[in-house]
Amino acid sequence: MSIYLDHASTTPLRREALEAMLPYLSEHWGNPSSIHRSGRRARQGLDEARETVATLIRAKPREIVFTSGGTESDNLALSGVAWAASARGRHIVTTAIEHKAVLQESALLGRHGFEVTYLPVNRDGLVDPEAVAAAITDRTILVSVMAANNEVGTIQPIAEIGSICRSRRVPFHVDAVQAAPFLPIDVNAWQVDLLSISGHKLYGPKGIGALFVRQGTSMVPLLQGGAQERQRRAGTENVAGAVGLAAAYTLAAEETTHAAETDRLIGLREALLQGLVATPGVARTGHATLRLPNSASMVIEGIEGGDLVAALDLEGIETSTGSACTTGSVEPSHVLLAMGIEAERARGSLRLTLGRENTAADVATTIEAVTRCVARLRAAVGKGEPAQAPAAMSGAPSV
């Protein structure tokens, strides 16, 4: 039996979401743009899904654009707003630790004449709202800051940043792909204008996401064609995907509100971290408390993260070094480097992200297996345990 500890990469489709989707993959197969009965039935499913997602983040249904996932939502937010505002200004503010879906799109805009400011973070992975305020100029047309980081789980002061952007009249985009399964989202309290979510990170299907676009925000579409999604995203809609996303997000939000599952995950996360940092040369990364409940990340001296992930996989424990999108890359994580962790140490990164099905027994098995695999990998390269445990990577109190 395997233990899956890679929920930040993707989550299993939950039964309720699958069941909600099935009618739209069988009898309700119509095109939601068609006028006839089959079309209207599909339209009804899509409309209900839109209303559900809107209600969950305190938005209006007309402000929800269904996309193919978090990547497209991020791309659309950045390029859509940038090109719509390009006559007014060409400056974008983002951070050095964003997901590649934001960083690569920003780089592309950079090649098309936009100026991009990449804000630094501290050793916990936190962005300073004052730095956001200082970076905004009268040419700034967008600020994009993620709600929670996918590699180290650090949660940003989004409401504070939102208030700064609102007072400076700059549209604010938030990548909430990792945060949505765990944090209650209120686009008005956060004062955001655009917000990305993804189905497969919250026990919904892959290939579906949503972008909240506040009414009145100017945005050009990425995809040209039909008039779907109020002309903001052409193409026949993924009705079953939208229905599955709405069903999964509803259940995830209920769990977030009731706190019991959040507390359970925090308990498991802390047990994992405490068990693992007991090994010399293991230091947690990210903020001690301002972090996603399910996310445990660390750097381990004397090993390559990829080797450890492969060794654990042979033991039936599925983990990652960081982002799935950078798996296979030999480069150390841009997130860890931005947090001031030296490249050599960043190579020994391990990310364990818990989920609904994980238990205390999984945690105990994982601590034992990681400890054993680390010792074996260190012995193989002739590096025993470091003489002394290094200081925690986080500036906050370490466990």
Cα(330)–Cα(333) distance, integer angstroms: 9
Nearest distance, CB of residue 375 and ligand PLP, angstroms: 31
Our CB check for ligand PLP shows the closer of 63 and 72 to be 72
Active site residue 373: no
Our CB check for ligand PLP shows the closer of 191 and 196 to be 196
Nearest distance, CB of residue 92 and ligand PLP, angstroms: 17
Cα(183)–Cα(265) distance, integer angstroms: 13
List 108, 220, 288, 325, catalytic entry: 325
Cα(362)–Cα(360) distance, integer angstroms: 5
Our CB check for ligand PLP shows the closer of 59 and 77 to be 77
Our CB check for ligand PLP shows the closer of 196 and 279 to be 196
Phi, psi of 68 (to 5 degrees): -85, 5
Is the CB of residue 101 less than 8 Å from the CB of residue 222?
no
How far, CA to CA in Å, does 375 sit from each of 29, 90, 96, 294, 387? Answer: 55, 51, 33, 25, 14
Residues in a beta bridge with 352? 296
Nearest distance, CB of residue 284 and ligand PLP, angstroms: 20
What token pair was written down for 215?
């009414």
The residue of the chain with the least Cβ separation from ligand PLP equals 70
Please give the residue ranges that form the binding site for ligand PLP (CB under 6 A).
Answer: 69-71, 74, 99, 101, 146, 150, 175, 177-178, 198, 200, 209, 325
Nearest distance, CB of residue 98 and ligand PLP, angstroms: 8
How far, CA to CA in Å, does 365 sit from each of 275, 299, 317? Answer: 11, 19, 9
Largest CA distance in the chain: 74
Our CB check for ligand PLP shows the closer of 82 and 374 to be 82
Nearest distance, CB of residue 34 and ligand PLP, angstroms: 28
Cα(213)–Cα(221) distance, integer angstroms: 12
Q: Which residues are catalytic?
A: 325
